[in-house]
Structure formats: structure tokens, C-alpha cells
Amino acid sequence: MTYSNLQIFTVELIGTFILVIFATGSIVYDAEFFDGQLGIPFAAVAPFIALLIGVYSFGKISLAHFNPAVTIGYYITGHISKIQIVYYFTAEIIGAILGSLFVLTFIGDKANLGANAPNYDFSIFVIFPVEVLASAMLMGVIFYVVYTKGLRGFSGVAIGGIVGLDILFLAFISGASMNPARALAPALLSGTFENLWIYWSAPYVGTTIVAFLFRKKFQAQRMANYE
């Protein structure tokens, strides 16, 4: 079944909204009510749950990007058109901002609304490649799921799982955003812009590298389907 761009726009907005509430709201909730004691494990589980919801609810309609860097990856591999990039990007940014507004209204305003922040105990020459790596691993798992046509029903577990694992093991270095929209919204509403350049560059580098690696595989798969 083919879905319209309006349907894609709608589910991408809703999915990104849910993701940002869970991903940033968990950090703010921890800061507001537990003084940060729940820590990174709690921040890792929350987006895993959000992506379980989003992928299984909307994956068949929009491929469940919820992330502009992932959208660019899908464009490189030929899964979406140029005009669809506009629909995806607009939906993802609006959804993310609405998610941060929800967090601000109903959870609190601590921890810069959950804005990503790297650990400057490490050099930027470590932080940036780690964020590239986290984003590349996310894109790699997503493409593997798509290439295997849903990974036997475990698509949401795989995609949510890699995000959770990236946060669990890499957030203490780079912040592990992997998602420019998720990074933008809390930074915009809290006025915390100093680290935003990292999350509006490194994720695109990571997803672009992986997209070019997978592009020939998808082209061959499409050719096989036509034969």
C-alpha cells in the first residue's frame, strides 16, 4: 500500500513528538524528582520504549525515521524523493519542538530541558567521532532491518535497542543524540546552543557514510525484485 505525503508527515510528527518526550523528558524527570540519581540507564531505556511504540505503530507508513539524519540516509539509498525530505524534515522539527513544549509544560525545565551535552573531559577529537559512530551504528541497524524486511518482527526492538545501547555506552562521552531534531528542540527552548553544532553535523556524517555503504545493496535488491 502506498501512503500519501500528508500521512507520512502526520505520523513522522507524532512519532518524533513521542520520541522527544521520552528521550528528553526522562532526563528532565530525573533531574526534577530524583536529583539525577537515575542517570544514564534511565535515559537509555526511555527512548527504547518510545521507538518500540513509534516503529511498530508507524513503520509501515513512513519507515519511522523520526530523525533528520536518518531521513538523509534514506534519501541517499533511494527510499524517498527530494520533495519527501521536506515533509520529513518539517514534521520531525515540528514534532520535536512540540515534544519539548510538552516536557516544559508537564514535567519541568531542569537539565536544560534534556538538551544534549558532550563531556569536555574528552577532546573534541574524541567527542565528534564518537557521535559519528553512534549515528552510524543506528543507521546500520535501521538499514539491516529494512534490508531483511522487518527482521522477523523484531524491527522495533532492534532500532530501539541500538539507540538505548548507544546512549548507555556512549552518552558519557558525546551525549549520544544521534538525532538533530531531538538535539534542536530542547536547545531552542532552553537557549542552550553552544553544543548544537556537534549534533547538527556528526549525525549526518555517520548516517551518510552508512547510507553510501548500503546503497548498492538496496539497488541490487530493487533490481532483483524487478526481474
Angstrom distance (rounded) from CA 97 to CA 103: 10
CB atoms within 10 A of CB 42: 15
Contacts of 176 (CB under 8 A, 6+ apart): 116, 130, 131, 134, 166, 167, 170
- What pLDDT score was predicted for residue 221? 74
Question: Residues 44, 47, 49, 55: is their CA dihedral positive or negative?
Answer: negative
Sign of CA dihedral 135, 136, 139, 144: negative
Sequence-separated (6 or more) residues with CB below 8 Å from residue 111: 27, 28, 30, 31, 36
CA–CA–CA angle 192, 126, 143 (5° rounding): 85
Structural domains counted in the chain: 1
**pLDDT value at position 44?**
98
Domain that holds residue 59: 5-226
- Quick one: pLDDT at residue 219? 78
pLDDT at 30: 98
CATH number, domain at 178? 1.20.1080.10
pTM for the whole structure: 0.95
What is the CB neighbour count within 10 angstroms for residue 65? 29
Residue by residue, pLDDT tens for the chain (227 residues) are: 789 999 999 999 999 999 999 999 999 999 999 999 999 999 999 999 999 999 999 999 999 999 999 999 999 999 999 999 999 999 999 999 999 999 999 999 999 999 999 999 999 999 999 999 999 999 999 999 988 775 667 889 999 999 999 999 999 999 999 999 999 999 999 999 999 999 999 999 999 999 999 998 887 777 666 65
Check residue 123 and give its pLDDT: 98
How confident is the model at residue 224, as a pLDDT? 66
176, 66 contact by CB (below 8 A): no
Q: Identify the pLDDT of residue 77.
A: 95
Q: What is the largest CA-CA distance in the chain?
A: 59
